[in-house]
Structure 1
């Protein structure tokens, strides 16, 4: 039997910015049954989340301080920002919960090294739809959107023996959220 620390019940969600990860996670939470042990970990991030994502905003100094204290199970930098997942992740896995984290494709190798039994789930979206979503959220300028679109189509390294699944989010987000919830529920079996 796998130990909780190996990430057996960890779902590492990733996808291009604008692919709808935060929407899927909100919808997934709304469909959990009673005391179902599926948790979505919040991220710590060095920018205001604007209420559109499940993230706790930290200043750069506070992030560095918490990092030095060992408060993060996972951490990475992307687009000039710092992201982290708190060490509560390990406690939740030890309690038998399936835990979903909103991760980064570029950080998958490091996450897999710490949690070798995690399941990576990539949210995929048609590039044209992705461009419209990025423009619609008003968070980036045209140059930043072009950079994100370019990055979205680039291959990313997947560690050997890492289970990678894909969930398409081109249609109603409820369909993709249900697929993600099915993946989480399978971890509890």
Structure 2
């Protein structure tokens, strides 16, 4: 593996409905090419506001067998991957934003020990409203999703910033831009 500056990796995570994709879009519009936003490779169709590359299960398995993912995980029957291009960008000193998973944040920390972790969240009422607007799940499924919200903790040495995205996108967006600015200077 090429030597990378893991301090420039920003690993974004949070529950469904927290507004991660909206926040990433907000930041992308404002930082231009100074920051790289990694695509996620996912074995499901794209939805509104989501920036990912759709792969079949066979395509995903093939890429995985060739070592083309820096990180990968499974959740709710879907497979997610972050391409190895992030290592090339980090090796060149570029800040890189990854839309990750809370359940797999420790794996990211093991690979990128100096990464910055950003946990995006919102109040349960806001999460429920956003999930209902997405219309991927019915009311009973949304209620069950919110009830099983797993707690997560990273080791004390991990650099974690928590952002509440319950209100105006610009408020949370400004906080996220501050994190990106820190990574750019690292």
Alignment match, 1:14: 13
Runs (4+) of structure 1 moved beyond 2 Å?
3-6, 141-144
SS at match of 2:4: helix
Pairwise CA RMSD of aligned residues?
A: 1.6
Give me the whole-angstrom Cα distance separating, in 2, the residues matched to 1:143 and 1:59.
Answer: 29
Alignment match, 2:180: 184
- The aligned length equals 184
TM-superposed deviation, 1:6:
5.0
- Show structure 1 runs of 5+ residues with no match: none
- Show structure 2 runs of 5+ residues with no match: none
Alignment match, 1:71: 68
Q: After superposition, where does 1:8-157 map in structure 2 within 5 Å?
A: 8-32=7-31, 35=33, 37-152=34-149, 154-157=150-153
Equivalent pair of 2:5/2:91 in contact (CA under 8 Å):
no
SS at match of 1:122: strand
SS at match of 2:148: helix
Summarize deviations over 1:121-140 as a string: whole Å, max 9, x none.
10010011111110111112
SS at match of 1:76: strand
TM-score, length-scaled by structure 2: 0.93
Equivalent pair of 2:5/2:90 in contact (CA under 8 Å):
no
TM-score, length-scaled by structure 1: 0.92
